[in-house]
């Protein structure tokens, strides 16, 4: 167990793994026994927080004759929540978290793995490594990780579902993403960074997955990954729907001097419980899923139109496809396409001696996993990460946490 006077960001690193072993094995065969899988290090993370609301799942037992409770009982599953953010790169983090990659010849919904409840992609285990005080986590190598693991601690989160993903872009700020997840289990490992018992649980609240986790030395990887993407490399374009002109009039969408933009992908889940199960029987996506893109821009030209056309229905269902592309030295690193988007709101404002601004909100509903005419599509330049198989020999296995 490490002894520290404080913990700061330099001591931290974040990893993800599949929930069950075997899906990413190089030979394509399940891992068994003491087999280890290496965690995938998430890059450019700058915020991380988590919370466990124990009281929310607990009920007091009281009866006539006593003022104080006579006991407590947990009636529902405790669902820890975690959230973290990172600077956008080439899409490697998104793919490691289970999002799906589209190409020009093969398009998938960004959340197609979640839509299909894919056993491989729908959930993840997340690990938060803390190294010894006074050391940069990125200074470690695999050999020093093993030599110093008695001074390392890890928090493991099992069965993590993504509940929200957002990407944010603004003039003068580094493009970033923020992720919120909901877990079923939290395990605190002390004096270890390998041999971490899988924290994921089955319906009975038991650990049935075999194998363990080994965390490799973290690295900033500036040789192959972008340092960061820049706001001046972000372009937003509109297509179809008469170049995106709203039938009710207002600003023309082409050549807007956009100041900020954000994409919100909500993936809220309905928790289904059943008698006889310790944990939730299922956590299913709630439909419909409305993806929104919010844009704030300075106002330039106006297009003709009138609100009455929308009120009478003669404006029809004017849709647009919005492409948000981020390039580094002319090469696309990440691209988002919001297809079949409709304009939900436009708000104009102006102060004394200020530029007039307009805030636009577009939305599109996600269709099936392979639906290509509406929804959110993700085009990263990164490839899917691989999770390497590690021999179980000479690796410690963490003891079960105190119940």
HEC string of the chain equals CCCCCCCCHHHEEEEEEECCCCCCCCCCCCCCCCCEEECEECCCEEEEEEECCCHHHEEEECCCCCCCCCEEEECCCCCCEEEEEEECCCCHHHHHCCCCCCCCCCCCECCHHHHCCCCCCCCEEEEEEECCCCCCHHHCCHHHHHHCHHHCEEEEEEEEEEEEEEEEEECCEEEEEEEEEECCEEEEEECCCEEEECCCCCCCCCCCCCCEEECCCCCCCCCCCCCCCCHHHEEEEEECHHHHCCCCCEECCCCCCEEEEEEEEECCEEEECCCCCCCCCEEEECCCCEEEEEEEEECCCEECCCHHHHHHCCCCCCCEEEEEEEEECCEEEEEEEEEEEEEEEEEEECCCCCCCEEEEEEEEECCCCCCCCCEEEEEECCCCCCCCEECCCCCCCCCCCCC
For the chain, how many structural domains are there in total? Answer: 1
Q: For residue 155, is it within any domain? A: no
Within 10 angstroms of residue 339's Cβ, the number of other Cβ atoms is 23
Contact (Cβ atoms closer than 8 angstroms) between residue 44 and residue 14: no
Confidence of residue 318 (pLDDT cuts 50, 70, 90): confident
Identify which of 76, 94, 74, 95 has the alpha carbon closest to the alpha carbon of residue 85. Answer: 94
- Asked if 303 contacts 250 with a C-beta cutoff of 8 angstroms, the reply is yes
Q: Is there a domain that residue 122 lies in?
A: no
Would you place residue 401 in the very low, low, confident or very high pLDDT band (cuts 50, 70, 90)?
Answer: low
What predicted TM-score, i.e. pTM, was given to this entire model?
0.87
Q: What is the CA radius of gyration of the chain?
A: 24
Q: Do the domain assignments include residue 368?
A: yes
Residue 307 forms part of a structural domain: yes
Q: Tokens 């592309």 label which residue?
A: 325
- Who's near 299: CB < 8 A, 6+ residues apart? 251, 348, 355, 356, 357, 358
Residue 177 lies in a domain: no
Please give the pLDDT value at position 179. Answer: 97
User: pLDDT-based confidence at 182, cuts 50/70/90?
Assistant: very high
Task: Name the residue with higher pLDDT: 332 or 7.
Answer: 332
314-336 average pLDDT score: 82
Structure tokens at 339: 């297809």
Q: Please report whether residue 321 resides in a domain.
A: yes
Listed range (55-64, 155-164, 261-270, 327-336) with the worst mean pLDDT: 55-64
Each residue's pLDDT tens digit, 227-251: 889 999 999 988 854 444 455 556 6
pLDDT bin (cut points 50, 70, 90) of residue 276 is: confident
Q: What is the dihedral of CA 198, 201, 202, 208, to 10 degrees?
A: 30
Let me know if residue 269 belongs to a domain: yes
Measured over the CA atoms of residue 248, residue 253, residue 259 and residue 265, the dihedral's sign is positive
pLDDT, greater one: 315 or 210: 210
Residue 129 confidence (pLDDT) above 50: yes
Could you tell me the end-to-end alpha-carbon distance of the chain, in angstroms, rounded to an integer? 19
pLDDT tens, residue by residue, 193-220? 888 888 888 766 667 666 688 888 898 8
Q: What is the pLDDT of residues 1-56, one digit of tens each?
A: 567 788 888 889 999 988 875 554 444 445 555 567 888 999 999 999 999 888 77
CA distance linking residue 345 with residue 397, whole number of Å = 55
Q: State the average pLDDT for the chain.
A: 82
Residue 218 placed within a domain: no
**pLDDT tens across 282-293, in order?**
788 888 999 999
Residue 16's pLDDT is 94
pLDDT of residue 142: 80
Domain enclosing residue 255, as ranges: 231-380
Supply the CATH number for residue 371's domain: 2.30.110
Label the pairing between strands 212-214 and 36-38.
parallel
Of 38-52, 88-102, 105-119, 294-308, the poorest mean pLDDT is in 294-308
**Is residue 386 scored above 70 in pLDDT?**
yes
Q: Lowest mean pLDDT: which of 110-124, 193-207, 322-336, 389-403?
A: 389-403
pLDDT at 170: 95
Query: For residue 315, what pLDDT is reported?
Result: 45
Of the candidates 285, 328, 312, the one whose C-alpha atom is nearest the C-alpha of residue 112 is 285
Q: How confident is the model at residue 311 (pLDDT cuts 50, 70, 90)?
A: low
Q: Assess whether pLDDT exceeds 90 at residue 155.
A: yes
- The Cβ of residue 52 has, within 10 Å, a number of other Cβ atoms equal to 14
Q: Which residues contact 78 (CB under 8 A, 6 or more apart)?
A: 52, 53, 54, 56, 57
């Amino acid at each position: 167990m490490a002894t520290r006077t404080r913990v700061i960001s330099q001591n931290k690193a974040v990893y993800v793994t599949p929930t069950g072993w075997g899906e990413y094995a190089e030979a394509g065969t399940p891992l068994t026994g003491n087999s280890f899988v290496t965690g995938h290090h998430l890059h450019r993370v700058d915020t991380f927080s988590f919370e466990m609301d124990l009281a929310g799942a607990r009920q007091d037992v009281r009866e006539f004759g006593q003022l104080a409770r006579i006991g407590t009982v947990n009636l529902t599953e405790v669902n820890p929540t975690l959230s973290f953010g990172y600077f956008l790169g080439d899409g490697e983090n998104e793919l490691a978290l289970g999002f799906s990659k589209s190409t020009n010849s093969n398009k998938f919904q960004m959340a197609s793995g979640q839509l299909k409840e894919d056993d491989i992609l729908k959930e993840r285990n997340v690990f938060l490594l803390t190294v010894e005080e006074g050391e940069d986590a990125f200074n470690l190598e695999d050999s020093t990780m093993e030599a110093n693991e008695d001074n390392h601690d890890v928090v493991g989160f099992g069965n993590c579902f993504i509940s929200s993903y957002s990407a944010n872009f603004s003039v003068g700020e580094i493009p970033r993403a923020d992720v919120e997840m909901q877990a079923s289990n939290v395990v605190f490992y002390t004096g270890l960074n390998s041999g971490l018992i899988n924290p994921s649980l089955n319906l009975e609240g038991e650990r049935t997955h075999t194998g363990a986790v080994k965390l490799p030395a973290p690295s900033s990887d500036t040789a192959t990954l972008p340092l960061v993407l820049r706001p001046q490399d972000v372009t937003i374009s509109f297509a179809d729907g008469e170049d995106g002109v709203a039938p009710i009039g207002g600003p023309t969408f082409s050549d807007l001097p956009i100041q900020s933009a954000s994409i919100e992908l909500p993936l809220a889940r309905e928790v289904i419980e059943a008698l006889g199960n310790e944990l939730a029987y299922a956590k299913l996506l709630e439909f419909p899923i409305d993806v929104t893109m919010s844009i704030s821009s300075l106002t330039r030209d106006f297009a003709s139109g009138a609100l009455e056309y929308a009120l009478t229905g003669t404006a029809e269902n004017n849709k647009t496809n919005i492409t948000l592309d981020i390039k580094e030295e002319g090469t696309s690193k990440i691209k988002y396409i919001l297809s079949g988007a409709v304009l939900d709101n436009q708000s104009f404002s102006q102060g004394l001696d200020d530029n007039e601004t307009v805030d636009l909100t577009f939305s599109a509903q996600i269709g099936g996993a392979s639906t290509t005419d509406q929804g959110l599509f993700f085009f990263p330049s990164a490839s899917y990460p691989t999770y390497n198989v590690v021999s179980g020999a000479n690796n410690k296995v963490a003891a079960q946490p105190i119940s």
